[in-house]
Structure 1
Amino acid sequence: MAKEQLQVLNALDVAKTQWYHFTAIIIAGMGFFTDAYDLFCVSLVTKLLGRIYYHQEGAKNPGTLPPNVAAAVNGVALCGTLAGQLFFGWLGDKLGRKKVYGMTLMLMVICSIASALSFGDQPKAVMATLCFFRFWLGFGIGGDYPLSATIMSEYANKKTRGAFIAAVFAMQGFGILAGGMVAIIVSAAFKAGYPAPAYQDNASASTVPEADYVWRIIVMFGALPAALTYYWRMKMPETARYTALIAKNAKQAASDMSKVLQVELEVETEKVERITQEKENGFGLFTKEFLRRHGLHLLGTTSTWFLLDIAFYSQNLFQKDIFSAIGWLPPPRTMNAIEEVYRIARAQTLIALCSTVPGYWFTVAFIDKIGRFAIQLMGFFFMTVFMFALALPYNHWTHRENRIGFVIMYSLTFFFSNFGPNATTFVVPAEIFPARLRSTCHGISAAAGKAGAIIGAFGFLYAAQSTDPKKTDAGYPPGIGIRNALIVLGCVNFLGMLFTFLVPESNGKSLEEMSRENEDENGTEMRQQGDNEIRTVPI
């Protein structure tokens, strides 16, 4: 027997774009704004932390975090994010999207503030406290991934669903941009009182007394957008797909969506009971039926996100090292600590403004026109091309007259990661799995991505060190060098392009159609109701 489709779900699938779509994008998107800010702002202050807490008088390098500390500061939030994605993804399918949504936001607010207030009378104590709170900050951030994607996909219509989910994720670009701008403003305000040491070749003058305030203010600012969003998140009704298909409350689903869509919807109690009865006997995550229907899909979403994040997080977290290596940033000994933060933030903000943010919004504009598959394949392809174009003639790019060319090429890798797999790997898992497993499977896919990010964060930290032990920063073992690290990342992107062929195209199809929830036991697809079969009466 073919499974029935609920009127309330059909109404959502064919609804015209309305104000509630935009409010949902802003409410869910502000979470991603905060996520990106909190995850990437640490790369702006890593060198500052080294100067403040590991400064060695008279050293050639004014201060560098020991490799294990640098790895922890950069990677511990990613470890927390991976755990949060798995836990809150599962919890979102058990308790409901809305109930869990508030928990993640409050965790982010509390831990952002606590990270900035990291205390201790010894450098190890401060770093340990910072890493502890950044782990739990990441845990909250992790919950935002599956919940925001699932909520937006279940609110959106078929025609523009990809653009709406991508728009939520695109707020990540504004978060990265905001991180750079906040760092520029804060460092400019503090360095104004210390202009003299900025260009002296004097390591002993490299750290000014106010430097400790700079990183704390930058880190703490991440709590503000999350706190401002909390009230509106709690005002959002639970999605109709969860309320009707999982919670089995037909009356509540019709009531909530009647207010959202501003139409009168019929309460289909008997139909909900029949559909949910069938689903109770349906397959779970660890079953042969799930493996048959969605096994390759889950492999595709996890593998592509894993490979993408190796490259994406390596590039984002260690831009400062790459810019220093090609000479775009002056040697640390010629700047005081606050001046160095200012210059790093300025360079990263320029990259975000010119390539990262536009890439996200190109995806929003074209994802429902050319499809998820084409954008992801194209993105991986051009990331591969530009990585090799940077790596193979690497010595050419390090000459002063060629640095601008390097920065342009490097920016294009960011553009095509965001007008490509960085956006689509977020969108697709929210569309192709059954409602009762949607948040869980998105969490698994996202967690695979964060596993790649951890490899990128920890691996690139060591790999990008000079191949000559004499030129290596104090305490770091010799690595393969930035040129070879870029070649490795190019190979990773090529693999991502190959695994993209496992990911189905979901453009223009309903969630039930993609998840195959509208099939009977023999795999026969139900006939979709047309627009004229949905009986709605304007209020």
Structure 2
Amino acid sequence: MAGDQLQVLHALDLAKTQWYHFTAIVIAGMGFFTDAYDLFCISLVTKLLGRIYYYKGKDNPGTLPPNVAAAVNSVAFVGTLSGQLFFGWLGDKLGRKKVYGMTLMLMVITSIASGLSFSDDPKSVMVTLCFFRFWLGFGIGGDYPLSATIMSEYANKKTRGAFIAAVFAMQGFGILVGGIFAIIVASLFKAKYDVPPYSKDQLGSTPHQADYIWRIILMFGAIPAGVTYYWRMKMPETARYTALVAKNAEQAAKDMARVMQVDIEAEQEKVNDITKKDTNSFGLFSKEFLRRHGLHLLGTTTTWFLLDIAFYSQNLFQKDVFSAIKWLPDAKNMSAIEEVYKIARAQTLIALCSTVPGYWFTVALIDRMGRFAIQLMGFIMMSIFMFALAIPYHHWKQSENKMGFVVMYSLTFFFANFGPNATTFIVPAEIFPARLRSTCHGISAASGKLGAIVGAFGFLYLSQSQTTPAEGYHKGIGVKNALTILAVVNLLGALFTLLVPEAKGKSLEEMSGENDNNDDDDDAIKLEDVSKVAADEPSSI
């Protein structure tokens, strides 16, 4: 065995890809599927909310006031930021498994409650919706550090990056399914209540049945969260938490022996020796942590912050960008249900052609290219395409053919996901000590959500700060400014990537310095029985 490393941890590091790895990916990944659905489905219905509750006549179908739109779009991110900090800390105190269940039940309850925001007063509906979406975000926030930490602590070191990336890739499916489900719901209502061809009186109209559409779309997020709860509770605590934090070597060996279906020795004395080392007992606010991991934490927080400014601005407001370049018709030229359908169709197309493939390129290549190379490449390519959209923006706006703009806009999503959107999630789960891993990941993720809040408010402000042609500018120059700023933000992300260490092919203890005396793996004893699973009996969690 490598130096002083525990047999159970060494076994996990050297284990071949087995059934329990895929089970862990699905269990942790379904949380992220739900997270993405819940966070981004609001962008599908914000225009509908404006038409229902702020209707001003068929010539002005109604839009959410800027302050209300900012609150509706951003309040879940405020909750997510809070949840990431709180549940990240709690995950290191109580264990990954216990806290995992708390976050999931909170998501189920608040998803349903979000769709039950009833009142005759528009202000009351928006306040109630924002209240429940804050707590929905709070639950979602806990899923970030816990999903990443659980998967990193279950994975082997050879393919750990791909496994964590696969969990995060479920975010892409959540975005995709959100669009598809909105298309289905809008199509069903359209067929019954909104049958074309439209008369002039119907254009820009909002049937009262449209009020059900946004509620159904928001409440659907409770289903995948509820289905996943049983499997999460069946999943044992990770061996690294049980052994290195809870200091229970017997339970760690027992849990992993059941998962991997092999005999693993419980080494309580070795656990006591490892956890008593003064060099590894430092806390988050200690000088030793600052010396060892201060720059690492600065790197993970700044890159995630900068990435999310761009990524969430793009996702939340792509409908506004497409409307600005006239790829989507004006609201007054279509009914409310038709508008939901077309927004969902556009966002589904982007997700299918660029967002989802980007995630899986990362899964396929991260353990070959490394985290650093993928993150640096992604930031640079996003910046290039943003400049290509912003500099000739008036050309794209006036052009009859919008597909060139849409293709390049899609490529920014591709390189976000085959780039920093995935790696900023992966790296914090690999480079910090076990007793601080969930906390540091939560801090990094919370920094990202702060960026999402900045992006949501900033893009909304810039895209609506439009001047008129009479003043010598084209209407819509706010979108151009926003795209230019996002390009610069991506360049800064590439710069701060230089602070992030490469974790490819290294054990978690090697990256965190928890096992400084480890020898090279070539000197390790062979654990053939540990690194394979019984052929005739699949393991399960």
Flag structure 1 segments of 5+ consecutive residues without an equivalent: 473-477
Q: What's the secondary structure of 1:464's corresponding residue? A: helix
Q: What's the secondary structure of 1:92's corresponding residue? A: helix
What is the match of residue 369 of structure 2?
Answer: 370
What is the match of residue 5 of structure 1?
Answer: 5
Counterpart mapping for 1:234-249 below 5 A: 234-249=233-248
Task: Deviation per CA, 1:268-290: give whole Å up to 9, x if none.
Answer: 11111111222696111001111
Task: Deviation per CA, 1:83-114: give whole Å up to 9, x if none.
Answer: 00000000000000001000000000000000
What is the match of residue 318 of structure 1?
Answer: 317
CA contact (8 A) 1:327 1:400 kept: no
* In 1: Cα distance, 2:436 partner to 2:379 partner: 28
CA contact (8 A) 2:203 2:335 kept: no
* In 2: Cα distance, 1:201 partner to 1:501 partner: 58
Q: CA deviation at 1:532?
A: 3.1
What is the match of residue 422 of structure 1?
Answer: 421
CA contact (8 A) 2:194 2:337 kept: no
What is the match of residue 150 of structure 2?
Answer: 151
What is the match of residue 139 of structure 1?
Answer: 138
CA contact (8 A) 1:197 1:336 kept: no
Q: Match for 2:498: what amino acid? A: F
User: Aligned residues: percent identity?
Assistant: 76
What is the CA RMSD across the aligned residues, in angstroms? 2.0
CA contact (8 A) 1:265 1:535 kept: no
Q: CA deviation at 1:357?
A: 0.2
- Cα distance change on mapping 1:17 and 1:427 into 2, 3 Å: same
Q: Match for 1:394: what amino acid? A: Y
| More deviation, 307-316/389-398 | 389-398
| More deviation, 529-538/293-302 | 529-538
Q: Which runs of 4+ in 1 moved over 2 A?
A: 193-205, 399-402, 469-472, 525-539
What is the match of residue 53 of structure 1?
Answer: 53
* In 2: Cα distance, 1:496 partner to 1:240 partner: 34
CA contact (8 A) 2:204 2:332 kept: no
1:332 and 2:331 matched: yes
What is the match of residue 110 of structure 2?
Answer: 111
What is the match of residue 399 of structure 1?
Answer: 398
What is the match of residue 85 of structure 1?
Answer: 84
What is the match of residue 492 of structure 1?
Answer: 489
CA contact (8 A) 2:203 2:333 kept: no
* In 2: Cα distance, 1:352 partner to 1:471 partner: 38
Task: Deviation per CA, 1:177-220: give whole Å up to 9, x if none.
Answer: 00000100000000112345675554785100210000000000
Q: Match for 1:269: what amino acid? A: Q
CA contact (8 A) 1:14 1:531 kept: no
Counterpart mapping for 1:33-44 below 5 A: 33-44=33-44
| TM superposition score normalised by structure 1 | 0.95
What is the match of residue 538 of structure 2?
Answer: none
CA contact (8 A) 1:28 1:148 kept: yes
* In 2: Cα distance, 1:416 partner to 1:198 partner: 40
Q: Match for 2:351: what amino acid? A: A
- Cα distance change on mapping 1:281 and 1:393 into 2, 3 Å: closer
Match of 2:512 among 512, 515, 533: 515
| More deviation, 73-82/395-404 | 395-404
Task: Deviation per CA, 1:338-368: give whole Å up to 9, x if none.
Answer: 1100000000000000000000000000000
* In 1: Cα distance, 2:280 partner to 2:345 partner: 57
| TM superposition score normalised by structure 2 | 0.94
Match of 1:483 among 480, 483, 493: 480
Q: What's the secondary structure of 1:207's corresponding residue? A: coil
CA contact (8 A) 1:92 1:100 kept: yes
Q: CA deviation at 1:534?
A: 3.8
CA contact (8 A) 2:81 2:445 kept: yes
What is the match of residue 539 of structure 2?
Answer: none
Q: Match for 1:232: what amino acid? A: W
CA contact (8 A) 1:363 1:419 kept: yes
* In 1: Cα distance, 2:470 partner to 2:133 partner: 31
What is the match of residue 21 of structure 2?
Answer: 21
* In 2: Cα distance, 1:289 partner to 1:258 partner: 35
* In 1: Cα distance, 2:523 partner to 2:325 partner: 59
